[in-house]
Amino acid sequence: MKRRIRLRVIPEPDPDTRSVFEKLIGAPDSVFFAGGETTDAYVCGQCETPLIVGLQLTQFQNLVLRCSQCGKHNETLTAGPVRRTQSAKQARRRHR
Ligand SMILES: [Zn+2]
Protein backbone atom coordinates (compact mmCIF):
# COMPACT_ATOMS: atom_id res chain seq x y z
CA MET A 1 0.00 0.00 0.00
CA LYS A 2 1.37 3.36 -0.98
CA ARG A 3 1.51 6.04 1.58
CA ARG A 4 2.09 9.72 1.10
CA ILE A 5 3.68 11.34 4.09
CA ARG A 6 3.89 15.09 4.26
CA LEU A 7 7.13 16.61 5.42
CA ARG A 8 7.10 19.60 7.71
CA VAL A 9 7.49 22.99 6.09
CA ILE A 10 9.96 25.21 7.91
CA PRO A 11 11.09 28.80 7.41
CA GLU A 12 14.16 29.24 5.25
CA PRO A 13 17.12 28.25 7.45
CA ASP A 14 20.09 30.52 7.99
CA PRO A 15 22.98 29.75 5.64
CA ASP A 16 25.47 27.21 6.99
CA THR A 17 23.18 25.96 9.73
CA ARG A 18 21.50 23.17 7.77
CA SER A 19 22.16 21.05 4.71
CA VAL A 20 19.76 22.47 2.17
CA PHE A 21 19.09 20.61 -1.05
CA GLU A 22 17.46 22.57 -3.77
CA LYS A 23 16.48 22.29 -7.37
CA LEU A 24 15.72 25.01 -9.79
CA ILE A 25 12.21 26.34 -9.47
CA GLY A 26 10.04 24.59 -12.01
CA ALA A 27 12.49 21.72 -12.62
CA PRO A 28 10.61 18.90 -14.32
CA ASP A 29 11.70 16.27 -11.81
CA SER A 30 10.77 17.16 -8.27
CA VAL A 31 12.18 14.05 -6.59
CA PHE A 32 15.46 14.47 -4.71
CA PHE A 33 16.02 10.87 -3.70
CA ALA A 34 14.43 7.75 -5.12
CA GLY A 35 14.80 4.07 -4.39
CA GLY A 36 12.98 0.79 -4.21
CA GLU A 37 13.06 0.02 -0.51
CA THR A 38 9.55 1.09 0.34
CA THR A 39 6.41 2.22 -1.42
CA ASP A 40 6.18 5.33 0.69
CA ALA A 41 6.47 8.78 -0.78
CA TYR A 42 7.49 11.76 1.27
CA VAL A 43 5.88 14.83 -0.15
CA CYS A 44 6.16 18.57 0.25
CA GLY A 45 4.12 19.71 3.21
CA GLN A 46 2.89 22.67 1.23
CA CYS A 47 1.98 21.38 -2.23
CA GLU A 48 2.37 17.59 -1.82
CA THR A 49 4.91 17.23 -4.60
CA PRO A 50 6.92 14.02 -4.05
CA LEU A 51 10.42 14.76 -2.71
CA ILE A 52 11.65 11.36 -1.51
CA VAL A 53 10.22 8.18 -2.98
CA GLY A 54 10.88 4.57 -2.04
CA LEU A 55 13.45 5.20 0.66
CA GLN A 56 13.33 5.20 4.44
CA LEU A 57 13.31 8.66 5.88
CA THR A 58 15.73 7.51 8.58
CA GLN A 59 18.51 7.86 5.99
CA PHE A 60 17.81 11.54 5.64
CA GLN A 61 17.94 12.95 9.11
CA ASN A 62 18.34 16.67 9.47
CA LEU A 63 18.21 17.60 5.81
CA VAL A 64 16.24 20.43 4.35
CA LEU A 65 14.74 19.92 0.91
CA ARG A 66 13.59 22.94 -1.01
CA CYS A 67 10.57 22.04 -3.05
CA SER A 68 11.08 22.83 -6.71
CA GLN A 69 7.39 23.45 -7.24
CA CYS A 70 6.48 25.88 -4.49
CA GLY A 71 9.89 26.87 -3.11
CA LYS A 72 9.08 25.90 0.47
CA HIS A 73 11.70 24.33 2.69
CA ASN A 74 10.81 20.88 3.99
CA GLU A 75 12.56 19.34 6.94
CA THR A 76 13.23 15.60 6.84
CA LEU A 77 13.76 15.34 10.57
CA THR A 78 10.19 15.67 11.68
CA ALA A 79 8.01 13.68 9.35
CA GLY A 80 6.62 12.02 12.44
CA PRO A 81 5.32 13.90 15.44
CA VAL A 82 5.62 17.63 15.07
CA ARG A 83 8.23 19.13 17.34
CA ARG A 84 8.45 22.66 18.48
CA THR A 85 11.18 24.65 16.78
CA GLN A 86 13.22 25.32 19.88
CA SER A 87 13.66 21.58 20.54
CA ALA A 88 16.50 21.47 18.00
CA LYS A 89 18.72 23.43 20.36
CA GLN A 90 17.86 21.22 23.30
CA ALA A 91 18.56 18.06 21.30
CA ARG A 92 21.98 19.32 20.31
CA ARG A 93 22.88 20.04 23.92
CA ARG A 94 21.79 16.58 24.99
CA HIS A 95 24.19 14.91 22.56
CA ARG A 96 27.26 16.59 23.96
ZN1 LIG B 1 6.03 22.23 -2.55
Integer angstrom CA distances of residue 50 from 16, 40, 83, 86 = 25, 10, 22, 27
pTM: 0.74
Please give the angle made by the CA atoms of 70, 74 and 76, to the nearest 5 degrees.
150
C-alpha of residue 24 to centroid of ligand 1, in Å: 12
**Per-residue model confidence (pLDDT) at position 1:** 73
**Per-residue model confidence (pLDDT) at position 62:** 84
**Per-residue model confidence (pLDDT) at position 25:** 61
**Residues near ligand 1 ion, CB 5 Å cutoff:** 44, 46-47, 49, 67, 69-70
Q: Convert the pLDDT of each residue in 6-56 to its tens digit.
A: 999 999 998 888 889 988 766 678 999 999 999 999 999 999 999 999 998
Question: Of 78, 54, 82, which is closest to residue 65 (Cα–Cα)?
Answer: 78
Residue 83 reports pLDDT greater than 50: no
**Per-residue model confidence (pLDDT) at position 95:** 54
State residue 25 phi and psi, 5-degree precision: -60, 130
- The set of residues, in sequence order, having a beta carbon less than 8 Å from that of 87 and lying 6+ positions away, is none
**Domain locations in the chain?**
4-95
